[in-house]
Structure 1
Amino acid sequence: MRYMVLLVCMLINFPVLSQQLNFTVTINSERARTQDRDVFDNMKRAFEQFLNGRSWTEDEFRPEERIKGNMLITINDMPQVGVFNATVQVQTVRPVYGSNYESLMFNFADRNWTFEYIESQPMEFNRYAFLNNISSLLAYYAYIALGLDYDSFSPRGGNPYYEIATNIVANAQQSSRPGWNQNPSDKRNRYWLSNDLYGSQVLVPIRDAYYLYHRRGLDLLTSKPEEGYKNILEAIKKVSEANQVQPNSILAISFMDAKSDEISKILKTAPMEIRQEAVEVLLKVDPNNARKYNDILKG
């Protein structure tokens, strides 16, 4: 009986935290020169536990509301035992209201990550200090994922999470590790991503586009399709306008990397005047996918 009382007291004093993420981590270790393949299974479990097993915000999330994501870590080299050079592909999705469809929100390639991993070593994180290059990177993308998700549900709702991500960058810069610094020759890294999301007034329209595109666009397509299509077009215009002021920003590229396939499919059923205007804008902001966008006009 006293064990039951103790358990109740523990639950009262230590409430169960609400987790906000539901990430799957995949480790591609084909290039790693080691016979110990178990280390990568342990790494996967440790990284998933770090991302999914903690609370990143005080907001309560029901299990079905947790942000789904995939993190593909490709080990490019293992220069010595416990040291890894890797690239990371991060993707997150967002459910669309009134449907079973999940929209790709974020699709980002992080090309330069070096870290040390020791099995069974606790993965500690402090948002006010740099402790190691694993917890800093994983936490960084956790907050980016939260920020984008909140931006898609309320105008600029991701501010608190981008601020934390920006602080993680500032702390990590002291380590001189690649990917965290203001490198003009590498504008597709963690520094520039958080800078575009939180530090650039010029690119704020792209953040507004996340809200217009998702909450006022995709979420309305089943109930108010005409309004939904118009807002999707308006979102594309905002991305294009920001891109004209600051060409080839990582934020504009990231938005289009996630949305190009979806836009080309969804707009095929839009009214012709929406399609024509959208294609004109899309060819300016993302000319590399011209063939895909021209197919929108065919319906």
Structure 2
Amino acid sequence: MVRPVIFFILFSFFLAPHQVLSQQLNFTVTINSERAKTQDTDIFEKMKSAFEQFLNGRNWTDADLKPQERIKGNLLITINDMPQVGFFSATVQIQTVRPVFGSNYESLILNFADRNWTFEYTESQPLEFNQFSYLNNITSLLAYYAYITIGIDYDSFSPRGGDAFFEIANNIVANAQQSSNPGWNQNPSDKRNRYWLANDLYNSQVMVPVRDAYYLYHRKGLDLLTTKPEESYENIVEAIKMIQEANKVQPNSILTISFMDAKSDEISKILKGAPMELKQEAVEVLLKVDPNNARKYNDILKG
């Protein structure tokens, strides 16, 4: 499956007004409220339903996707504190997958931990969003990750195909900076927040090789694994080298970390079937880019 070309997104205003659009996301929201100081647990069920409806019930693009083609994801929200009624402090773990051509396998493509989200929520609260202005910290965060998710997915199907979506995510960050809420600002002591992820994806020339690696790894790597395995292995290793290229210039960037967090298990399993020369080449690079998973990568040489 190939995502519709970006042309139709940028020029959507030429579409006929009667055209029926379909949703693009299929997210499951899970809320862990064990730490919340409240007996009213029903609010979290309503919160889950409202958040899922916001993500899955609207059209983020003009892409006409069938239900089975929608981008699958999980959003785990852990409520860390509820200092007063209606106010919440939470962490968010977002994971999304991408189908691999010619198989039933779904590849984890985004695995990102957002450690600092504060928001206000009351039951039956309408969740309104405007990409051109900041309305609240709920819809800004959910919309931000919707566009990040779609952008990375599009990057994996066409070279830098996610540009238009990363631009919107970057604008959401800029609009949200007027608020006092954490995670949106250029904080040098916290380079793993929303600002830096959007910056790496949209503004940073240093990180362009990582974006190109998404395409090479998935479209020219995983998607060819069953039909052209040798070419697939070569492209996967080349994609890893591109990650190393960016990491040399900007070590431990959030985009590099996010890529490896999503791919380390998969890489260690898939490359066990590669020729030994490619295995050795890949492991040498992986140990430099992601030394925390050294044991996992050294196992590639055993398989």
**Deviations 1:65-94 (Å, cap 9, x if unpaired)?**
100000000000000000000000000000
What SS does the corresponding residue of 2:177 show, helix, strand or coil?
Answer: helix
Instruction: Check if 1:289 corresponds to 2:293.
Output: yes
What SS does the corresponding residue of 1:186 show, helix, strand or coil?
Answer: coil
**Deviations 1:164-205 (Å, cap 9, x if unpaired)?**
000000000001210000000000000000000000001100
Mapped contact 2:21–2:63 kept (Cα < 8 A): no
Distance in 1 separating the partners of 2:21 and 2:113: 30
Cα RMSD (Å) of the superposition? 1.0
Listed as ranges, the matches of 1:1-299 within 5 Å are 15-299=19-303
What SS does the corresponding residue of 2:27 show, helix, strand or coil?
Answer: strand
Distance in 2 separating the partners of 1:254 and 1:152: 15
**Percentage of identical aligned residues:** 80
What is the CA-CA distance between 1:63 and the residue it aligns to?
A: 1.0
User: In the alignment, which residue of structure 2 is the partner of 1:9?
Assistant: none
Distance in 1 separating the partners of 2:109 and 2:118: 26
Mapped contact 1:17–1:54 kept (Cα < 8 A): no
Q: How many residues align?
A: 288
Distance in 1 separating the partners of 2:244 and 2:161: 22
What is the CA-CA distance between 1:15 and the residue it aligns to?
A: 5.0
Runs of 5+ unmatched residues, structure 1: 1-11
User: In the alignment, which residue of structure 2 is the partner of 1:7?
Assistant: none
Distance in 2 separating the partners of 1:153 and 1:13: 28
Runs of 4+ in 1 over 6 A off after TM superposition: none
User: In the alignment, which residue of structure 1 is the partner of 2:10?
Assistant: none
What is the CA-CA distance between 1:16 and the residue it aligns to?
A: 3.8
Mapped contact 2:27–2:75 kept (Cα < 8 A): yes
Mapped contact 1:148–1:158 kept (Cα < 8 A): yes
Distance in 2 separating the partners of 1:28 and 1:14: 41
Runs of 5+ unmatched residues, structure 2: 1-15
What is the CA-CA distance between 1:17 and the residue it aligns to?
A: 2.9
What SS does the corresponding residue of 2:178 show, helix, strand or coil?
Answer: helix
Q: TM-score, normalised by structure 1?
A: 0.95
Question: Could you say which structure has the larger radius of gyration?
Answer: 1
Q: What one-letter code is carried by the residue in structure 2 that aligns with 1:97?
A: F
Mapped contact 1:283–1:290 kept (Cα < 8 A): yes
